[in-house]
Copies of this chain bind each other. A is one copy, B any other.
């Protein structure tokens, strides 16, 4: 009874085919970052389409963060190294459109950072450990230099941990979510009246986390990292959302009430 199964014909736009081809060329390595695409006028010849179509394809590729074009450049569009920009953009727009709360973002960071520390404690190399130490050292120095330097060193520490986790996806997500969170609270953090005390406490917490990572105690490192994150941001999270964050804290078995 069932003859040949016909599939609904998906009408494919010309510019989509171009996007596909270029995308595949990049993913397959035929085009590597830094290389240039032919000029739009060349491409219209190669693809046998008009320049408008080529341009629409390039717009899509550009929106996805794969290429960049600059007017007047004697070469064509430049193939970009992967950057999490596109990822970050869609996640940031998600944060606005879906109405992600600061609480959810911080909670997600607690999850990611905790896991990163857990993994880092078991997989870190000596060099990565040194990076973390150096970052904390810079945090200490930055207490007197001001918030920006401190924040940069703080970021460097968390990045080092994320790298040590050995999971690029964790690394990227940590980066993306952190930049969104910082964008939301940076001004408030910078203006905190008791800023210096905050910094010193944060440094102490980071030292504890580092010690756990050095000792290879993953669960402890994870717990401390979550606690550190909570302490640092809880004040900016609406009280109603804090219980959900604390649900991530009392990790070891279950703490009886």
Task: Write the residues of chain A forming the contact surface with B, with a CB cutoff of 8 angstroms.
Answer: 11, 15, 23, 26-27, 52, 55-56, 59-60, 62-66, 71, 82, 84, 86-87, 89-91, 93-94, 96-98, 100, 104-105, 107-108, 111-112, 115, 118-119, 122-123, 166-170, 172-173, 177, 217-220, 244, 247-248, 251-254
Contacts and interface: CB of A to CB of B under 8 A. Distances in A.
B252 A252 contact: yes
Given A26-B97, A167-B104, A115 B254 contact: no
Contacts of A218: 247, 254
B90 A168 contact: no
A247 B118 contact: yes
Contacts of A105: 169
11 contacts: A52-B52, A84-B94, A94-B172, A98-B172, A107-B167, A111-B112, A122-B247, A123-B247, A167-B244, A219-B252, A220-B254
A122 to B, nearest CB: 5
Given A111-B115, A170-B111, A87 B84 contact: no
A170 to B, nearest CB: 6
B104 A248 contact: no
Given A111-B115, A118-B247, A219-B254, A87 B82 contact: no
Nearest to A111: B115
A220 to B, nearest CB: 8
Contacts of A100: 168-169
B87 A91 contact: yes
A175 to B, nearest CB: 12
A172 B84 CA distance: 17
A60 B221 CA distance: 42
Nearest to A177: B169
Contact of A90 (B27, B86, B251): B86
A73 to B, nearest CB: 13
A229 to B, nearest CB: 13
Given A59-B60, A167-B104, A247-B119, A173 B172 contact: no
